[in-house]
Structure 1
Amino acid sequence: MKIAILFPGYGSQFVGMGKELYDEYRIVQEYFEEASNCLNSNFVKLCFASSDIELGKMSNAYPALFLVTSAIYALLRQEGIKPAVVAGYNNGEYAALFAGGCFSFPDGLYLLSKYTMFFQEALEHMDVEVIRVRGVSTEKLAAICLKASAYNGKVFIAIYNGATDHVVAGDTQGVEQVRKLVGGLEDVSIDQLGIEVGLHSALMDSVVEQFKIYLEKVDFKDLVIPMINSLDGELISQREEVKRRLLRHINSPLVFTRVIDVLADYDLIVEVGPGTRLSTMVKKKYPEKRTIAIQTSADVEQLKKMALEP
């Protein structure tokens, strides 16, 4: 059976994520201890006893999600689950790369701490917004963004979630213009998102320039489990290619629809960590495909049974 494991990104975090598995499995506790030592932060308190606002801060959510999803993945490997491929949504790609054997757990935390620091510094000099637009086709929304950019401020499609589901990011004036142009269309919904989702456009060029210096300080290895890259859906495993794409991941749009397309070739899709958004996206496109989200010990046991099925 070909198993694909997916790692969620920012927005899936919630206070209490991973708590049941932390209480039951020593390996999960060990990851929490290592993360706390690496970043000098109390992740038990942050993940289990803080607030949605505190956990939602970029500097907290990114490493916390990486920690929880990486710990659950380590548990699954301990329980005998062996994926054929991995993929991550947005910053979930860092956990996917760790799972694939690209870099160590401490190095993943190190990279995310640097990225969030540079991103936050860049935001001090920006006036930007991020929204989710549903109900508009990719072609039509791209034309709207181009038209809006002709006024004041650049605006881009940052993440492609589906044929009519996109994340739009850009200068506040440009995003407001998109709101006006989209607002007159029927059956369209617009939701405000946190900047923490990322801008994934040329607005992030300065972050790339800073981040690439620290990328060289990390020991990247060829992946032992290939990753479906969210830039274009390509399977990647070579370390130099990973490094190039990790930089492009910051200032280029993410096309998660292509990741979903590639999953057609896999039998069992496993979402590791908080939430069920990714497994729901897969189920929507492939109703017949077996999917499961892992958040509790019962989920782990169910997955072990599913993995043995023909």
Structure 2
Amino acid sequence: MGKTAFVFPGQGSQSVGMGGDIIKAYPEAREMVEKADQRLGFSLSDLILNGPEEKLQLTENTQPALLAISAVFFRLLSKKGIKADFFAGHSLGEYSALYAAGVLKFEDAVFAVRKRGLLMEAAVPAGQGTMAAVLGVDPNPLKDICEKVTATGASVQLANLNCPGQIVISGTVKGVADASKLAEEAGARRVVPLAVSGPFHSSLMKPAAEQLKNVLDNLPVQNAEVPVIANSTAEVEETAGEIRSHLIEQLYSPVRWVESIETLGQLGVDTYVEVGPGRVLSGLIKKIQRGATIVQVNNLETLNTVAEKLKERAV
């Protein structure tokens, strides 16, 4: 029988009210978000449930909010006896995966991503960096374009290799604009500027990465109880030491999502459970590993139906 991976979403999957039905239905879920409130020193749970949306969209709030709700869904799935052979997460989602694997305690993971969000916001002054999704160009030609533009002094890099034909580039406003223009000339189907507040997963995040190291050095990090695929290497990571260094690299390195899913496929995974708000990762995986079974656990109804389905499969 094939293996199962739980995958955890990153920024962009958030919405006001996410997880509301779960928090209402399960006292344990309410307790978890209250623990997050205590660790952060403000009511994250109120922001998740009631907004306002523009405040939830701030990186330093989005990151702990998504992690908290993804962790709640994971905990409840585990309580129902549903287990995974591997974990992976997209960017911020890697922290949710590491919580699931027993690497970080819940409150520490929430605290770490709140700090990560603040550091990412502070790394580059507002308005100086950006990102864009390039559709219909292969990674190597796009990498060449980015290197050519960077050589002119306008920094830009591949940031997210999301699925075949969808790559996000990141860098200075000029770097992204110049690379976007060259990508269109090279036959890109479309270039979509992203509504983000900074050039994430680019070399411009190196100052933030150095400060993130100080944050992680002061948190207990355990070996993984279940193997996790690292964003920056697209390979299995299990020891606390390599996990720490990968999390630092992750801030300024591309998210190698296509290769991560290919690695899981090679390890025998044929079933993916997207654990947490939205269904972004399900859409990407469908384009990477055709024929895989992909389900989402993102509300009370799907928590119960998917748990039942996976229990039957295990029998």
Structure 1 167/160 Cα, relative in aligned 2: closer, same or farther at 3 Å? same
Alignment pair present for 1:256 and 2:257: yes
* Distance in 1 between residues matched to 2:286 and 2:97, nearest whole Å: 20
Q: TM-score, normalised by structure 1?
A: 0.94
* Post-superposition offset of 1:242: 0.4
Q: Alpha-carbon deviation of 1:31?
A: 1.0
SS in 1 for 2:137: coil
Which segments of 5 or more consecutive residues in structure 2 lack a partner in the other structure? Answer: none
Which letter does structure 1 place at the counterpart of 2:152?
Y
* Cα distance between partner residues in 2 of 1:220 and 1:147: 39
> 1:131-176: per-residue Cα shift (whole Å, max 9, x none)?
1111111112112112222334111011111232111011111111
TM-score w.r.t. structure 2 length? 0.93
| Partners of 2:188 and 2:200 in 1: CA distance | 25
CA RMSD of aligned residues (A): 1.8
Match of 2:218 in 1: 217
Which residue of the partner structure matches residue 117 of structure 1? 118
**Can you list the C-alpha shifts for 1:199-248, whole angstroms capped at 9, x where unaligned?**
21221111122121221111111110110112222111110010111111
Number of aligned residue pairs = 310
Letter in 2 for 1:193: L
| Stretch moving more, 299-308 or 91-100 | 299-308
Aligned partner of 1:96: which letter? A
* Residue 247 of structure 2 corresponds to residue 246 of structure 1: yes
Corresponding letter in the other structure for 1:278: L
1:29 deviates by 0.9
Would you say 1:194 and 2:198 are equivalent positions?
no
Check if 1:290 corresponds to 2:282. no
Which residue of the partner structure matches residue 134 of structure 1? 135
Segments of 5+ residues of structure 1 without an aligned counterpart are none
Counterpart contact for 1:227–1:236, Cα < 8 Å: yes
Counterpart-to-counterpart distance in 1, 2:185 and 2:74:
44
What letter is aligned with 1:54? K
Cα separation, 1, equivalents of 2:71 and 2:198:
20
**Is contact 1:152-1:173 (8 Å) kept?**
no
Question: Which deviates further from its counterpart, 55-64 or 150-159?
Answer: 150-159
Asked if 2 retains the 8 angstrom alpha-carbon contact of 1:11 and 1:197, the reply is no
Does the Cα contact within 8 Å between 1:231 and 1:256 map onto a contact in 2? no
Q: Distance in 2 between matches of 1:43 and 1:213?
A: 24
CA drift of 1:299 comes to 1.0
Structure 1 stretches of at least 4 aligned residues deviating more than 4 Å after TM superposition: none
Partner Cα distance (1:197, 1:65) in 2: 19
